Structures are given as C-alpha cells and as structure tokens.
C-alpha cells in the first residue's frame, strides 16, 4: 500500500477549525496494531486513550503539535511502520489470515465447514481462533461481507445481483430479513449450490 493511501484528512462539519486523521484498517490490521485479541473490541468504539496503549494515546497530541499536514502524515505512517516492523509484532495465524481473505475474496459466500477443511483445523478451533483475531465469528463476518457487496450493487433503489448460498432459506432470510427486499427466482444447481438471480425491489410495508 502506498504511503498516504490509507490516511485521510476529515474536517468536522460542525466545527470549522477541527480536523481529524482517519486510518482505515482491516480486522487483522487492528489485531496487529493493537497487539490484543480483536474480540475484546467487538461492538465497542473506544477512544485511543482507553486502549491501555501509551503510544496510541500520545499520538493525537503529537499530530496536533506538528506544524503542517505533511509532517502529521509522516508521523502517522512512522507510527504504523514501527508497529508493523517491530520485533515483537503480533501476527495472525496463517490459517485465520487465509480464512479472512477467502471470505473477503468470495464476498462472504463460503461456509465455516469449507474453511475448516481447507485450513486443516476443526470447526471449533477455527471458530475460536477467528473470533480472537478477527472479532466476529466467520458466519457473522460473512454476513457483513454479503451485506457490503449487496449495498454496493444498489442502483436506483434496486439491487441487481447474483448471490450464492448454501440453502434456499439462508438466501431468502438474507434478502428479506437483512436487506428488506423482495427476493427474485431461486435456483439450485446440480452441485447443490443455491443461487438468487435478478433485480430485487425494496419490500413495500
């Protein structure tokens, strides 16, 4: 990733003279940066000084003291590089990293049983390690990724997409329960995979 690609300046709309620096990280990036189980932060929005990390807690003050934005960006990037290249950097299990990357690559259209087989772990062990290092369980993470993909396909109030699921009920629950859409045709292919095709319109109350 190129320097500055993941760092943005965010002016606050209500406070004319206040600015912030936003750093976007993947769940595994959070695990590496904070050096702690990501599951501890699930559902929380802590301030930097609430994480028990003196380096992170001091970072806003260091940025405020910098005389210009190039030096602020340089300090953020130096801090991140120091964490990622540190001798005691805490990296995720290769199996967990692979499982997360597979979920992202397939937009959540993969079950934990398949992931477990490919990693060589039991489902329970994969679930425990994935939760500790990513945060949500694989099933919950897959649901978020499917939602993100679907939300990105909205065109004129409609969603044009093809979705793969393990069973018809999962497909219908996701479309109607999570997205609030009227499902289109559902088909099962010879291999047993379930597909939803077509354009889906918002459910009318």
pLDDT tens for 81-96 read 888 887 777 889 999 9
Looking at the fold, whether 145 and 118 belong to one and the same domain comes out as yes
Residue 168 lies in a domain: yes
Contact 179, 170 (CB under 8 A): no
Q: Can you give the pLDDT at residue 177?
A: 62
The string of pLDDT tens digits covering residues 48-77 is 888 888 988 999 899 989 999 999 999 999
Segments of the chain scoring below 50 in pLDDT: 1-12, 160, 187, 189-195, 197-205
In terms of residue numbers, what domain contains 97?
Answer: 92-151
Number of domains in the chain: 3
Looking at the fold, whether 24 and 77 belong to one and the same domain comes out as yes
Contact 195, 162 (CB under 8 A): yes
Residue 61 lies in a domain: yes
Looking at the fold, whether 140 and 196 belong to one and the same domain comes out as no
36 closest CA partner among 136, 141, 133: 133
Contact 27, 100 (CB under 8 A): yes
**Which residue has tokens 């109607």?**
176
Looking at the fold, whether 36 and 12 belong to one and the same domain comes out as yes
Ranges assigned E (strand) in the chain: 7-11, 19-23, 154-155, 158-160, 163-165, 181-182, 186-188, 194-196, 199-202
Q: Can you give the pLDDT at residue 176?
A: 64
Please tell me the distance from the alpha carbon of residue 100 to that of residue 116, in angstroms, as a whole number.
12
Where is the domain boundary, 84, 107, 128? 84
């Amino acid at each position: 990733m190129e320097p500055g690609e993941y760092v943005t300046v965010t002016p606050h709309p209500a406070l004319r003279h206040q600015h912030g620096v936003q750093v976007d990280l993947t769940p595994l990036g959070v695990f590496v940066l904070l050096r702690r189980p990501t599951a501890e932060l699930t559902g929380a929005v802590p301030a930097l000084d609430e994480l028990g990390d003196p380096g992170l807690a001091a970072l806003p003050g260091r940025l405020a003291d910098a005389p210009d934005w190039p030096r602020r960006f340089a300090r953020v990037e130096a801090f991140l590089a120091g964490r990622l290249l540190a001798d005691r950097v805490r990296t995720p299990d290769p199996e967990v990293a692979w499982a997360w990357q597979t979920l992202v690559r397939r937009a959540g259209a993969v079950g934990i049983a398949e992931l477990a087989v490919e990693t060589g772990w039991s489902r329970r062990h994969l679930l425990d390690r994935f939760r500790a290092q990513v945060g949500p369980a694989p099933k919950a993470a897959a649901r978020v990724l499917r939602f993100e993909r679907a939300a990105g396909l909205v065109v004129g109030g409609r969603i044009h997409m093809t979705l793969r699921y393990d069973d018809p009920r999962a497909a219908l629950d996701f479309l109607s329960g999570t997205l609030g859409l009227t499902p289109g045709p559902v088909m099962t292919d010879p291999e047993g995979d379930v597909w939803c095709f077509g354009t889906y319109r918002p459910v009318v109350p």
